[in-house]
Amino acid sequence: MPPPSPSPPLSYTTSPSLNAFSSKLVEFRATHPPIQHLIAGAVRELWEETGLRAKAVKSVVGIAPIAEPMPDDPLEKDLEVLYDMLVFRADDGVWGKLTVWVDVESCDDVKIDKDEHVEFAWVTEDEALRNSFRDGRKLDFVSEGVRRNVLEGFRLWKQENQGSK
């Protein structure tokens, strides 16, 4: 068993566009573990699952529109988008996946939690669009919804960078 992780870093800025995902502590604790709000939970998960430290939480990343026919994928069958959150209905309940754009202190030393993930990769937008790495290896996403989530992140990043010029 690995040694316990140090306390996650909790000094970060939050964009006003994320206010809808902040809940009053009393309301949130009534139905969730004792974390301040969903954004704090995302920052904690980033730290626990990758070792990366958040510097700024920029925005929620929704899902890109469908550009081609959807594959016959059981994970997509009951996929729903609700307030930029992907909602999955499964035998064991209803799950929500909120993706946030986070600037991190450094990307140099990713340490994935082997109990949570098999591998990770830094990918380009072109690689995500083509579902393959530059060297020809296949790039597998958990689902088409996750791939569209990644593509929306690239769109938001380009939008911000074009606006700052």
* Residues forming beta bridges with residue 14, ordered by sequence position: 57
What average pLDDT does the structure give for the chain?
A: 79
- pLDDT band of residue 20 (cuts 50, 70, 90) is low
- The mean pLDDT value for 46-62 works out to 91
pTM comes to 0.67
Buried/exposed 101-134: b ≥16 CB within 10 Å, e otherwise: bbebeeeeeeeeeeeeeeeeeebeeebbeeeeee
What is the torsional sign of CA 20, 22, 27, 33? positive
Residue range 89-134, pLDDT digits in tens:
677 777 778 889 999 999 998 999 888 888 899 999 999 999 999 9
Q: What average pLDDT does range 133-152 have in this prediction?
A: 90
What DSSP element (H or E) covers 161? helix 144-163
Per-residue pLDDT band at 35 (split at 50, 70, 90): very low
Mean pLDDT of 52-80: 72
Structure tokens at 92: 């064991």
Mean pLDDT of 45-69: 84
pLDDT number for residue 72? 61
